[in-house]
Amino acid sequence: MSQVSPSLQRGPEWVTMAVLGKPRGVRGELFALPLTNHWDRFRAGRAFRVWFSADLKRESRELELEEAWSHNARLILKFVDVDSIDDAELLRGGDLCVHEADRDPLPDGEFYYDDLKGMQVIDLQTGKVLGVVSGFTEGIGPGVVDVRSRGEQCLSGEGSELWQIPFALDICREIDLEKRELRVVLPAGLRDLNGA
């Protein structure tokens, strides 16, 4: 496992494939929360970089995947040279990432959630810009798009608002990767429910 200089900062070109959880067993294995539906992307020999939030005070590291498997519908990962509970514990809470240039190609009509970041959110009915996608949260159901509105885009007409849109086909109707637009039809009152 190689460590990098603390001056190396995570940029937007790093795509999170999974969040590393608690150790499992005594061989350095970890539970992981995958942020992709394609678990085949976790294959032996693949190189990843793990990034940590500032509060964890750990340096980014390169990791090579030794083995990956599913146990009770949960993803388990084992990395080269991570051979104990203590080794695994040092990775806990990290974002397991690949560089965007190293992402596997997707079938037509599919995209990476990170591709949504920075897209303008457009109301299909009015053509009005509602804000910009600031993130994506996966969970039960279709997941949620985080939207940041500023100034006139806000319901109040000023300031800054963060609100969410369910990533459902009847709401998020069109994704234009070239124009960087997510076109939506919002149910009545959705923004009010968000507190925006």
Instruction: Give the CATH fold of the 9-102 domain.
Output: Elongation Factor Tu (Ef-tu); domain 3 (2.40.30)
The residue among 141, 111, 135, 139 whose CA lies nearest residue 121 is 135
DSSP symbol at 117: T
pLDDT value for 38: 78
Give how far Cα 7 sits from Cα of 91, 94, 153, 192, Å. 19, 18, 36, 42
Q: Residue 67's beta-bridge partner residues?
A: 78
Domain boundaries, the chain: 9-102, 113-193
- The span from the CA of 176 to the CA of 157, in Å, is 27
pLDDT value for 5: 39
- The span from the CA of 115 to the CA of 18, in Å, is 16
Are 47 and 63 spatial neighbours (Cβ–Cβ below 8 Å)? yes
pLDDT value for 194: 67
In the CATH scheme, what architecture does the domain 113-193 have? Answer: Roll (2.30)
Using DSSP's 3-state secondary structure scheme, residue 115 falls into helix
The tens place of each residue's pLDDT in the chain, 196 residues long, gives 334 334 457 777 888 889 999 999 899 999 999 877 778 889 999 999 999 988 888 889 999 999 999 988 899 999 999 999 999 999 999 999 998 888 777 777 677 777 888 899 999 999 999 999 988 876 656 778 889 988 888 777 788 888 889 888 899 999 998 899 999 999 888 877 765 5
pLDDT value for 6: 41
